[in-house]
Amino acid sequence: MNRERCPELFKRYEGNPILTAEIWPYKVGTVFNPGAIKFNDEVLLLVRVKDRQGYSHLTCARSKDGKTNWQIDSKPTLEADRSKGEAIFGLEDPRIVWLEKRQEYVISCVSFCAGVADEPPGVSLITTKDFFSFKRLDRPLIPPNKDASLFPKTFKGRYALIHRPIVEGRADIWISFS
């Protein structure tokens, strides 16, 4: 690759990693794959955390500069909710979008489907205004499906969601409308 024609867009932060399991306020196995936004003049990461049994949940971490002095919630922020059909395997790969029309954030994440053979991955949608209280919405798509993200604006009054159905031998991105 010709570096002169394609200059480096990002530079790695010298202080990496910025978050590790060792600094977590409770015992965890690993931390990775956060959704990230600017919220109340801070960087807010909604971090996928895998516990020591191998189940995933999401935890908020906040920093003024996005690199240091992280304030991490003292317990999981969001865990799987079996009453919403989410299995104990947990929540993964959060994406966070601000919906101006609704004046709230929508979190889309992978969740595994309780009560379904082999508990395939599905998509969960969760809303919040403050990242302390949350409301779960009904599942928007039939499993198996994952890696969804809602567009922040409507198209002719309809919300659009990109997602990845799990179809053997294929790796596609689909779009669905409300």
Average of per-residue pLDDT across 112-116 = 77
Question: What is residue 142's predicted lDDT score, i.e. its pLDDT?
Answer: 84
Q: Is 8 a domain residue? A: no
Q: Is 29 a domain residue? A: yes
Asked if 105 and 128 count as a contact pair (C-beta separation under 8 A), the reply is: yes
Which comes out higher in pLDDT, residue 79 or 84?
A: 79
Question: Is residue 170's pLDDT more than 90?
Answer: no
Backbone φ/ψ region at 177: left (φ over 0), alpha (ψ -120 to 50), beta: beta
Q: Is 15 a domain residue? A: no
Q: Is 55 a domain residue? A: yes
| Neighbouring residues of 147: CB distance < 8 A, sequence distance ≥ 6 | 93, 110, 163, 164
Instruction: With cut-offs at 50, 70 and 90, classify the pLDDT of residue 26.
Output: very high
66 DSSP assignment? S
Q: Domain containing 45: what range?
A: 21-177
Q: Which amino acid is at 41?
A: D
Q: Is 5 a domain residue? A: no
Q: Which amino acid is at 29?
A: G
Which comes out higher in pLDDT, residue 112 or 71?
A: 71
Q: Is 13 a domain residue? A: no
Please state, in angstroms and rounded to a whole number, the distance separating the CA atoms of residues 157 and 34.
29
Q: Is 7 a domain residue? A: no
Count of all residues that appear for the chain in the document: 178
Overall number of domains in the chain: 1
- Both tokens of residue 74? 């003292």
Q: What is the CATH number of the domain that holds 133?
A: 2.115.10.20
Instruction: With cut-offs at 50, 70 and 90, classify the pLDDT of residue 112.
Output: confident
Q: Is 4 a domain residue? A: no
